[in-house]
Each structure stands twice: as structure tokens, then as C-alpha cells.
Structure 1
Amino acid sequence: MKYNELIKQMTLEEKASLMSGKDFWQTQDIERLGIPSMFLADGPHGIRRQEIAADQLGLNAGIPATCYPTAATVANSWNADLGEKVGDYLGEEAITQKVNVLLGPGVNMKRNPLCGRNFEYFSEDPYHAGKMAASYIRGIQSHGVSACVKHFAVNNQEERRMSIDTIVDERTLREIYLTAFEIAVKEGKTRTIMSSYNRVNGDYTNENQHLMKDILRDEWNYDGVVVTDWGGSNDRIAGLLAGNELEMPSAAGETDKEIVQAVRTGKIEEKLLDESVDRVLELIFSTNEVFERSYKQEFDVEKHHRVAQKVAEESIVLLKNEDNMLPLKFGKKVAVIGDFAKDARYQGAGSSIVNPTILDHTMDCFEESGIVSIGFEHGYERYGKKNIDKINKACELAKGADVVFLYIGLDEDTEAEGLDRPNMKIPDNQVDLLNALHEVNPNIVAILSCGSAVEMPWINKVKGLLHGYLGGQAGARAILRVLSGDVNPSGKLAETYPLRYEDTPSFHNFSGNEASVEYREAMYIGYRYYDTADVKVLFPFGYGLSYTTFEYSDVRVDKDGVTFKLTNTGNVAGMEIAQLYVGCKSKQIFRTKKELKGFDKIFINAGETKTVAIPFDDKTFRYFNVKTNQWEIEEADYQIIIGASSADIRLQASIFVEGTGAPLPYEKEKLPSYYSGKADNVAVDEFETLLGHKVPVSTWDRTKPLGYTDTIEQCQYAKGIFGRLVYHSIVFTHWFLKKIGKRSTANLIMMSIYHMPFRGIARLTGGVVNMPMLDGILMMVNGHFFKGLGHLLKEKRKKLKASKAAVMESK
């Protein structure tokens, strides 16, 4: 241990104190030993350090920081170097704000388009997500501060995220849901990982020995710190035994006492605690050292804004360009319509909200774009309310234009942490506007702003479609530069756009039942499913248009990788994203038709030819064998596929690969859905065969009293009338707030109260309510109102008395 001598000087109580927060965002310090605090802040696409109330949940405005495009946006760049640049600038800003640990990036898979937090995640593909995440981490940590990869693991929905039990087979867990984390650990060398709220196959992730010890520590040799998601600690001792060192936020010393007691009774060896303390100390000292060595109080705001713009420009995806509407021809008169043109939709909602240093809006950037605007109309109410007057005014403006720029998408309250989307549609009032505009002017270019996939039954009514995703504070200007032709679009989708939500492989199993969610589709998510089951999609994974064209030729394969030639056959310079997919020709083990195993983004001048080389790596041919419990290679011929998207295959070759000789892991006749790839509606008995055990009961037990891990939502069947009144009052408040247009506050109620386990009342109040007081609340909910109230008040008095005694003792 690096800090063995320092640890020897600590009391048991001091060691325990380092295992949880000092307040909502800071870790504990020990002044007498010269151990400082460290500050953790949200930061997937910009630093969110609150100006005030650091002891509270992140609801206050953060100190101004550059709002870069979200991860879902930068993923469309397919440019790891660009991701590293974003990380580099995030790390620089972290230093100016004295942030030790930046809570990002998020690498959870986009299992389903409705996950409310998809805007914070990279991809539906683990290799793509892992490579992009590793680049962010390298950039952030190049400044000496730490990135924090999240949310480990299998956290792919917001609905009941603090209590849901994710049921997933081991092979799918390894190949799909852990690979991005593995790349982040091994290649990115992340120094911090955040455990997720959910259970995985019965155990909370931060207590899950298989995830935390067997895989993360033993297999991947991770020696950094694991921090809980805020309020995500269930059993503190079980978490520490699994290797989850840091509990956030502060528990006001309550869990410190549990750790001390566990050591004294032999439940935890003090040596294990010492090792955890050593890892935390390494993070504290190494990240604080950078502030002493190179602390800058400010950064170049304009320069960082320009970087945010460059990143947005390279991440924008051109999805449709009928009649070569784009780039816009010189002198064309444009009608700008849509509320998002006036007030840009540029980031998601929840803990990642950044207070931008500068914010570009479309209407403020027209003059420099060279595009001739004849005017602007809102066209629709931002949050979905019908308004025929706005539609009529927009149509009048559109009549006098050569082209209509229509800004549409999802509003801030639709894509938010803590909530999943109810459907894949854009609001009806926006579609009504589009239909009306098409009647008066069919030359419509739609500019879409949202952080995840949407259905587009209206796509035939637009001639151009440009998807800006959530482009950060400079996204509006970046979009205009692509529309005008100053920038040649080069982004490609990092997720598939299905024709309709019902086509998605997890449609029948999202977001699960009351207590659990079953991943019956197994590895068949995203393009892996659509390609294998031959399901038509609107836009395939890896799809995106350019203002030029590219030709692929002369493919060559050897044991080290694949090379081919790429020629720009158009009239303008551009960037092409070449994608390597691999498919196994053997049918002995079920596989998806092809899997992404490499990619490269290349800039090529008009008429120029470049040779592209994409190497193979340790993940190119592997699969996880559940019989040997390790990665194996199946001996077979493999198809080497080079595509401009997962559906646009340009070159193919094959190579024979020697295997590792592992036994076959499955009996083919027992898993027909998985061998056919048609895994969108698998029966429970076949899923149990894949799992190797029965699935747990997926409904709540309504006969037992409510306990720590039960949610406030479950008060609807509480034995005590007090509990049921609490439930109905929350439901009514949520309904009323939505009715009067306070959707953000209504969302907050669902996120922070409705789905919260009872233990969260203690874990997220910074010690205002402790566990003995929570026992009183649970008595009240479970039908013993007066007994529980008496217990609550008694414990509150006891707590106040102890606090006063502690204050007197410190004097």
C-alpha cells in the first residue's frame, strides 16, 4: 500500500470517515494528518459545480462552464481524437473550478430508445461506446484530475432505476453491457467508476461480488476508486466488502459507525478497510496535487466556445437530402420556423445541466452565415400545447420563401434523468405544423434537435433532414454552417432509427415489471437485432450523408487487420467514417450477423485516394463462453466487412481463425429464438434455459410490511392509511403540476420522491433523517401511526442531543 505509514497514524474512526462524503459533493478531510477533501462534480458534457449550497442535490445553477455537445452527439462524430479533445478541455475547466473528479462519461448501452438518459450515453454498440469513452478519459485525466465512468452496470432505464432488478444472462452481460466499461478501464485507465442504483441478477451493483470483485478487480485489475451513485448505498458493509470504497453523499457519520462496528466485530477485516482507504487517499492526493502545481483561476472562454462549435460541426448528421436541397443555393430566401430556432435545444435535463458561458441561438447567427432569412415564426408552443394561430402565421411566412427551415424535436422535459419517454414520437403540435407547411411550401428542410431516436412517419413531407442532436452552447451556429455549406457534414448515427417503436427488440420487455426487468432479447440489441432478424429500419446504425461521395476499393486482410483504399469521388473535401464489421460463418454458437470491431474517420480532398488500415485487436473474434467462464475464440471462417454503415456494405473478404478449443456452450435445439436471431419476444422458458435458472418473481410482494428497499410508489398498498395518503398526495401533486404547466417540477417529484426507496430518505438528506428515524416513518406507513410517530420524535430528540454534545465536545 502506498500510504501505509499514513494509514497507521489513523484511528479506526478516521479511516471509516474517508469512506463517505463530507457533504453532498465533497469527501471528508482529516486536518490533523494533512488529508484534504476532494470535490466531485457532474461533467459528462460540461462542468456542473454549484455556486451555492454544496450540501444539496444539484438543483441550483452551476458556475458558468462550457456546455459541449452531449455524449450522444459526439458519438455521431465517430472520432476518438475529437472525444479526447473534448475531454482535454473538460479537464482544463475542471482545474479552474477545483473539481477533482468529473462524473462522466456515461457508457451505458442504448438498449431501448425510450431511456430518458440516452442523450448522456454514446451508443447501442459496446465497442463504439468504449472507444469513445476511453478517449474522453484520456483527455480529462491528462490534466491530473479524474474521470468517473458510469453507471456500472446494466443501468439502461430511468424508470425505477433505484430499485429495479436487471435479469441478464452472463454472456450478454459480458459482451454487451460490460465491454464498454472494460475498454474504459483497460484503455482509458479511468481512476474512478460510479456504481449504479439497480440490482443485477438479485444483488445491488455496489454489493455485487461478481461485478465488483470477480470482474472489475480480479479480471480487469482495476485499482482505482468505486463511488456509489448519489444515495445508491444500500447495505454499507456489503458494499465495502465488494470493494465500493466511497459512499456519496454524506451520511452524517451514520455509516461510519457501521463500518467501525463491523471491524470491531470481525465482519470486516481492518486490512480490507486499509486497502480501501489507500485507494481513496491515492485519488485525493494525486488530484489535489494538480491544483498546487498548475492551478489556473480561469480559462479562455472564447477558445473553448470555438472548440464546442467544432465538435458540434463534426457530429451533425445529414439524414435526407432530396433534390440536393443542401447545401443551400446562393440567394435562396429562407423562412425560419420553430421555437427551437429562437431558443436552441442544446442539452439534456437532470444532473448534467450546464450553465453555459455563451449560448448561440439560430436567429442571432444568420447574418454571418450568408443565408437570407425573410423572417421567423415560432410555429408551435414549445411544450406541446396546440396553437392554430402560430401555425397560421408560420404558413403565411412560408408562402413567401424558397425554402423553409423547420426546427423541431423534443423539449427539455421529455428527455430527462429519472424518467423514461412515454413514446418515440415528436409532439403532435409540431407534426401538425409540418403538415400545414407542406400544403403551402413543400421545400422543407427539417432541423431535428433531440438526444435520442424518434419515429418519423412524417419524413416524406421534408426534402432535407439535418439532425443536430444536442449540440451544446455553439450547436445553433454549427448547424447553420452545415446548412450553408461552410461545413461538409460528416456525422453518422451511433444508434439505429427503427420505423416504429414496436420494431425494437426490447419492446416487450421495457421497462420491465414492478420488481425486475428481463433482458430476454439477450445480445440482440440495436443493429445486431435488426440485421440478424432482417427487420427494416428507417436509418441504420452508422448512417449519414455527405455533400460528397466516397468509393471503397482494394480490400486486403491478414492476421493483423484489414486495409483498403478510399477515394473522394465528389467535388468537395469531406470526411468519411469507414466501419469494420466481423461476422462468424459457423452456426455452432449463436451469433449476431455482424458486430462492429473497428472504425476510422478520414479526411480526403476531392479526387484524392487514401489507404486506410484498421487493425484487429483482442476483441475482434472473441465471444464469452458460459461453460468455461472465460473469453474464447471459435475456430471458423470469419467474414470481414467494410461498410459506410451497418447496412451499406462496400467491401468483403474472409479469414480463417484458429480457435481456443472450448466446448460448445449451448444445446441448439433448446434456444431456437437465439439461434434464429428473432429474439424480440422470447418465451420465459427459453429465456430461463439461456439464464441457467428460473427468473425471479417480477411483482412486488404486497403481503409484507414495507421496508428500506421498497419504494415510495409502493405506499399505494401500504397497510397504514398514512402511507396510502402519502402515495395519493404525491400522485395528485404530480398531476396538478403537469396540469398547470410545471412539468420540470412534476418530473422532479417522480425522479426524487415517487421511485425512491425508503432508504433514500436517510441516504439523500445528509443526516437530517437517520435510519432509526426512518424506522419510525416505516412504522407509520405500515399501520402503526402513533407508535411510529413517537419513535420518530424520540429518535429525532436523541439525534439533536447527540449533535449538541458533539458541538460542546469540539469546543
Structure 2
Amino acid sequence: MAESSDNTPSHAGASFAASDVDTLLGALTLAEKVDMMSGHGFFDALAEDDRVWGARPYRAGSGNDRLGIPPLLFTDGPRGVTRTGSTCFPCTMARGATFDADLELRVGEVMGIEARAQGCNFSGAVCINLLRHPAWGRAQETYGEDPWHLGVMGAAMGTGIQTHNIIATVKHFALNSMENARFKVDVRADERTLHEVYLPHFKHCLDAGIASVMTAYNKVNGEYCGQDRVLLTDILRDEWKFDGFVHSDWVRGVYKVYGVSAGLDIENPEPLILGEKLVTAVADGLVEPYVVDRACRRILRTQIRFARMQDPLPAYPADRIACADHRALALEAAEKCAVLLENDGVLPFAPDRVKRIALLGRIAAMENTGDNGSSRVRPPYVVTHLEGLRRALGEDAVLHADESDLDAARQAADQADAVVVVVGYTAKEEGEYIMGDIALGADQNRGPSPRPSLSPTPIGGDRLSLDLPDDQIALIHAAADSGKPVVVVIVAGSAVMVESWRDRANAILLGFYAGMEGGTAFANLLFGKVSPSGKLPFTVARDAADYPYFDRDATQIDYGYWHGYTKFDREELTPRYAFGHGLSYSRFGYRALKAHRNGNAIDVAVTVTNEGDVAAQEVVQLYIGCPGREAERPVKLLRAFDRVALQPGEARIVRLSVGIDTLRWRNPDRHTWQLEHGDYRLFVGGSSDQLIETGIAL
């Protein structure tokens, strides 16, 4: 970090930037090196802060006062910098629905700026675990079910953060897509499944320059991720050539000292397994001294590289935190993420016909930005659905009632021109699984196995049902009985079943956890100030049985090759809403699809026309189907996307490019990637089930 920056962490300075890694290593004692390989002070800090996660930067490795080596000072994400007062963006899954990598880059830049302004130099905001099943409680923290989409969006986020010389970490490596059983579950996957489905997005982000990796809590094929040589050395280092550092997740991220030999560089947040035990293991010959040097070299090399880069801004003062520009970006993200699932023409509301609205649902009046776990942001304000609509229409024009009193809800509906029902979930029903609080051992002795405080009322975790609660379904039916137009707005982190009530709604809008400006975006979308443009980053089934098997209490589970739209295509299942689906207040036409090989890429061009009478944005999606003779492959795989803004009647040629290497499959017999030659099918459209097609031979 440059010395000229205001509020720059005190450890930044030209002297460290000019340091030589080998010289520093030669001056450090074994104990000092081992000290750099863990975080310090977390338990005490959390206790002092009344167990409020993110109240301060956490020392998460590195640091030596004698030699002027700065520590890594960690802040989490991914809804924003997890410090009080930060900008709260829509949850990651919501931003995944934008399919807007440029927007995600800008969100990352804001997180980098606000992290710098709050004394941090290390961010955990890049979460790219694949959504295998929508019941996963922390689905809201990732971008969706498709590996390519995950990689593009995660790389954009990490690049944005690192623009301001904050080290970003990509998490959780790997196969972490269950919450309640995350500390015990052994996830089994064969080589093709591992490399083609659950790992490519991590490689995508690391190839883009993200500098650190956080390991996952779970086991993979019998070994905990934080001490898995296959993941951390064979794949990450030897095959992918990653040269940054690897650190554990917070508490219970590693269990054995041999984790450092397997490839772990830092244990966070305290030396519960490493520390003195690692010093002893080196003295006893159980861990080679070069392993410790290797870890410290990776840490220092990364830090010095960032310290030598000039800051884009001359200063990072506190008044940049949640400033007007950052709040405007949160609003833009909230407007772009909403997915219009169904609409019979009732939306957008016409102001001259819809002057009074019955806004129903408990969630409509709640500050509900997502779960209360490690990604929680405490912004300066949150605009609720109720507040946003009342600001737009006036206090008296919005009548509010909820599911606790259906008679009051019916009365409100009878007095209104239209009814909007807000349904879905809160931190109580889904999110990081918290057994009462997020103490993470701060209330325990510093033993080797700290455990969160227990409470009779845990929150979050994996969902038990993909349906709405019964009282919310009853509220929808009560609203529909009024005979007034009914719009249902869903607040959730992933797919919600709609089969028991969708026929009672005139329109359905998936709004996700939309951040601090969500209520403002909600009003703008309802009345057509902006057209919905989000696309589903996951598949919504008609029957929950169509998803892969899920057991939130499993001790072992097999992850197969097929999930999401690839499973639906293979089994010829018809989803309720396909991956990539999302309606607009306009209509878009596709024509003149062309493709040709250009060296190591396939270049594709398609003409997209706004055939409606309002300005709108469309997400153009390119899928490719491989020959599939050498090995069974999905019917189609997303391999490129772009967002285009079009005026009424405007046509534009959209150009997309696909690297031919991204079409290879993993040969488990040779443990290598290979390209199958033959005829490939190219599909382009605004949804995975509405596509035009051409072909190309490779």
C-alpha cells in the first residue's frame, strides 16, 4: 500500500515494498516464521466486540514487528465490507442474476475502496462455490449453478477488489455446497466431476490473478480440504501453477500439523493446530524446515508484490464509505438483479390506474439483506419494500398488512387498485448455520477444538423445504381472492417452488436479498422506471425430486456429474423456469447467428433487436454442445454471455468469443484434458430454453 493514502493501514510503507523475500526469510527465526503462519488475537477481539463479526480487521497471518513485515488484516464479504457503515450490495446470488461482469468489477472496486478506508488489506468477498441444490443455506453467497458463469463473475469481483491493492481470496476450496454438515461431511467426486464441474471456476479466478485461496471445512474424497495434498499441491500448485498463498477457513479449517506439508500456508484465525505444535513437529523431524520457508515465501512474495503497486486513488478517506456513488451502484445492482419470472401484462403498473397498493407480507417491512453470518453487512440504512413504495407513492397510497392477520390483509386488498405480496425467507430460515451466535470459540478455553456457543434457537442453515411457508401461501391466496391484480415478489437466496400458488398470481418477481437500496429498486421496477433484466442463475424445478439428492445431515455424500440445467437436459425434464430465464417489459429478437474459428477461439456474432416499445437490457447467452462420442457430455454448456442495452426498435450485432480450450473434457485414464474433434452445436438466446442454433466443426 502506498504511504500517501489516508487511512492506509499503519503496516504499509516503502521499506517493506523494497524488501527482498530471501533476505527477510534469512533474518526470521523458526518461531517467527511459524508465527506468520497463523492469525492472532481473533478470540480476544471478538469477545471485546461483544461477538460482532467484522467489528475490526482481523489479523489473518504474516506480520513481524522486528522486521517491519505487515500483517494480513482481513475483512469478509461478499455483500460488502463486513464493517459497520459499509455499503450493502445485493447478495452474491442476486448479482449473479445480473450476468453483468462489468457491474461486478465495479462492485469489487467499491469493496476494495471501502476495505482500504477501514484499515483492511485482505478480503474474503470472492465466494464461488457451485450451487448443486437450492436447499443449500449459503446459496445466497455464490453466483449460481454454472461453472463458467461462476468463474467469470468471481474473476470480475476479485479483479475489482485487487484494483485497490487489497489481496483477494477465493473461497471455499472446494466442493463446499452444504451448510449444516460442513464440518463433518465427506464429499465424494470422481475425476471428471471434480475437474469439469466443481473446480474450473476456481482455476478461472486464479488465472485472472486472484492472489489467495481459502480452503473449505468439508472433506473431499476422505480428507479435510485444509490438509488435502491432492487439492492443495497436486492440483493447485503442480497442475494449475498457482503461486499465491493458501489459508484455512475460520476455526476447524485444519486438524493436523501435516496440513502445511500438504500445502496449507496459514491457519486462521488462531494457531490452534500450528503454532507451537508446528515448531515441535519441525524439531522432531515430522515437518521439513523447507515447508515452513515455502509457506512464508508464498505469503511474503504476495504481500510485497501488492505493496509495490501504486494506488489508483491518492487517498482512501473514511468519507468514501457508503458515499453517494457507492449507494448509487448498490441501487443499480438491485435494479439489474431482479428476475421477472412471469407477467400476464399487469406489470409495469400504470401510475394513472394503480394509485393505491396493498403491500402484504411481514418481509415487506423488514430490513432483510441476507443472513446474519460472516457475510453480514451493517449499512447506515436499509430501504425496505414498504419504505421504497411509500417514498414513490406517498404514505397514504400504500396499505400494509401481513400473514399474521388474513382479515386485515383482505381488507387492505379490497381498498387497493393492485396487490403486491412479498414472500420468502430471512436469516432465520437460510444462511450460514449459527448455533445461537457467531462466537466461534471466543467463549471457550483456547483448546484445540473450539466450538460455537450453543443455543436452543439456531438460525440459518440448509433449508428443509423449497416451498414457501404455509402462512405465506395462504396470504397469496387471500390476496388473489380480492379479484385485484396480484404481483408476488420472492425474497430468497436460490430457487423457491411456486407450483402450489403460481396460478393465483398475475406476475412473479424474484427480487433476492437486494441490499440497502432494495426497496428503491423495487418501486422503480414495479412502475417501469426500469425494466427487469435479471436472468436466473439456477434452474427452478416443477418437482423438488428433479434436483440431485440432498441430505443436510450427511456424513458422506456423492456429488455426481449432473446437476442444474445439465441434469434437466440429460433426463429430458421440463423445469418451471429454465436457467437463464428472465422476462422484460420489452421483447427481443435474435437472428443472423454466425460462427467461425479464429485461431484458438470460436468467434460468434448474432443480431439482437429490441422489438418492444420501451428501452431495456438483454442478457445474450451462448451455449455449446460438444460431440460427446469419446465421453458423455452435457447437451449444452454456457460458454459466454453479455449484457446489451437497446432502445425500442434498435438492433445491434453482439459478438462473443469462446476459447477452444474451454471445450475440452477431462480424461480420467490419462489425467489430462483433451479436445474431441467433430461437429459442435452453438446455441444463442435470452434463456437456456429459447435458443437459435448453428454449427461448427473442430
TM-score, normalization by structure 1: 0.75
For residue 236 of structure 1, report the CA deviation from its aligned partner.
4.0
From 409, 412, 417, the equivalent of 1:402 is 417
1:546 aligns with 2:584: yes
Give the 5 Å matches for 1:754-793.
none
User: Aligned pair in 2 of structure 1 residues 246, 440: CA closer, same or farther (>3 Å)?
Assistant: same
Aligned partners of 1:90 and 1:140 also within 8 Å: yes
2:66 aligned to which of 32, 45, 66: 32
CA 1:346–1:9 in 2, change beyond 3 Å: closer, same or farther? same
Q: Distance in 1 between matches of 2:253 and 2:348?
A: 52
Partner of 1:614 in structure 2?
A: 656
Map residues 248-267 of structure 1 onto 2, 5 A cutoff. Answer: 248-251=268-271, 255-267=274-286
Q: Tell me, yes or no, if structure 1 residue 369 matches structure 2 residue 377.
A: no
Q: 2:465 aligns with which of 400, 410, 423?
A: 423
Give the superposition deviation at 1:429: 0.7
1:599 counterpart residue number: 641
Distance 1:568 1:579, change over 3 A: same
Does 1:498 find its partner at 2:532?
no
One-letter amino acid matched to 1:501:
A
- CA displacement, residues 381-429 of structure 1 (integer Å, 9 cap, x when unaligned): xxxxxx3xx1100101101222101111112211121221111011111
- In the superposition, relative to structure 1, how do residues 340 and 96 fare at CA in structure 2: closer, same or farther (>3 Å)? same
The equivalent residue for 1:510 is 551
Match among 5, 29, 34 for residue 16 of structure 1 = 34
What is aligned with 2:324? 302
Q: 1:178 to 1:532 in 2, by over 3 A?
A: same
User: Closer, same or farther in 2 for the Cα pair 1:162/1:2, shift >3 Å?
Assistant: farther
Of 210, 213, 222, 1:190 maps to 210
Distance in 2 (alpha carbons) for counterparts of 1:589 and 1:2: 49
In the alignment, which of 604, 608, 628 is matched to residue 562 of structure 1?
A: 604
On the 8 A contact 2:75/2:124 being kept in 1, the answer is yes
* Overall identity of the aligned pairs, in %: 31
* Of 360-369 and 281-290, the range deviating more from structure 2: 281-290
Assess if the C-alpha contact under 8 Å between 1:445 and 1:462 holds in 2: yes
Tell me how far 1:644 sits from its aligned partner. Answer: 1.4
Preserved contact between residue 326 and residue 464 of structure 1 (Cα < 8 Å): no
Secondary structure of the residue aligned to 1:280 is helix
Structure in which a larger fraction of residues adopt helix: 1
- Deviation string for 1:582-616 (max 9, x for gaps)? 11234341111111111111111111111111101
- CA distance in 2 between partners of 1:64 and 1:325 (Å): 35
Q: Which amino acid aligns with 1:99?
A: C
Report the Cα distance in structure 1 between the residues aligned to 2:637 and 2:388, rounded to whole angstroms: 41
For residues 304 and 659 of structure 2, the distance between their equivalents in structure 1, rounded to whole angstroms, comes to 35
Q: CA deviation at 1:121?
A: 0.8
Out of 283, 287, 295, the position equivalent to 1:268 is 287
Letter in 2 for 1:611: I
Once the two structures are superposed, the pairs formed by residues 351-366 of structure 1 within 5 Å of their partners are: 351-366=374-389
Deviation at 1:656, TM superposition (A): 1.1
Larger relative contact order (C-alpha < 8 A, sep ≥ 6)? Answer: 2
State the match for 2:344 in structure 1.
Answer: 322
Gaps of 5+ in 2: 1-18, 43-57, 434-460
Kindly report the root-mean-square deviation, in angstroms, between the aligned alpha carbons of the 2 structures.
1.9
2:432 partner SS: coil
1:204 Cα deviation (Å)? Answer: 1.0
- Is the 8 Å Cα contact of residues 41 and 47 (structure 1) preserved in structure 2? yes
Partner secondary structure for residue 649 of structure 2 = coil
Determine the C-alpha separation between the residues in 2 that align with 1:125 and 1:372.
42
Residues of 2 paired with 1:545 and 1:444: CA distance? 17
1:286: Cα distance to partner? Answer: 5.3
- Contact kept in structure 1, 2:30 and 2:279, CA below 8 Å: yes
Q: Residue in 1 aligned with 2:572?
A: 534
d(CA) in 2 for partners of 1:628 and 1:273? Answer: 33
1:472 aligns with 2:519: no
Cα deviation per residue 1:297-348 (whole Å; 9 max; x = unaligned)?
3315222111100111111111111134324453313211122222242222
Q: Residue deviations 1:63-113, cap 9 Å, x none?
A: 221111111000000010000010010000000111111112111111011
Worse overlay, 578-587 or 550-559 = 578-587
Contact 2:167 2:306 in 1 (8 A): yes
Runs of at least 5 residues in structure 1 that lack an aligned partner in the other structure:
50-62, 381-386, 658-811
Which of 357, 365, 386 is equivalent to 1:342? 365
- Does the CA contact (< 8 Å) of 1:20 and 1:28 recur in 2? yes
Alpha-carbon separation, structure 1, partners of 2:561 and 2:352: 48
Q: Which has the larger radius of gyration?
A: 1
Look up the match of 1:65: 86
1:141 to 162, 171, 174: 162
Between Structure 1 and Structure 2, how many residues are aligned? 628
- Matched residues in 2 for 1:473 and 1:73: separation? 13
Query: Equivalences for 1:696-735 in 2 at 5 Å?
Result: none
Pair 1:512–1:626, CA change in 2 (3 A): farther
Does the CA-based 8 Å contact 1:74-1:83 persist in structure 2? yes
Q: Distance in 1 between matches of 2:372 and 2:468?
A: 17
1:74 and 1:315 in contact (8 A); partners too = yes
1:28 deviation in Å? 5.3
1:7 is the counterpart of 2:25? yes
TM-score (norm 2): 0.87
Give the distance between the partners of 2:596 and 2:119, measured in 1 at CA: 49
Task: Decide whether the 8 Å contact of 2:360 with 2:419 is kept in 1.
Answer: yes
Distance 1:376 1:14 in 2: 64
- How much does 1:221 deviate? 1.3
Q: Which moved more, 1:189-198 or 1:610-619?
A: 610-619
Shift of 1:478: 0.5
Contact 1:225 1:279 in 2 (8 A): yes
Return the structure number with greater strand share: 2
| Equivalent residue, structure 2, for 1:392 | 407
Deviation at 1:143, TM superposition (A): 0.0
State how far apart, in whole Å, the 1-side matches of 2:351 and 2:217 are. Answer: 51
Deviations 1:156-190 (A, max 9, x none): 10121111111111101001100110111002x11
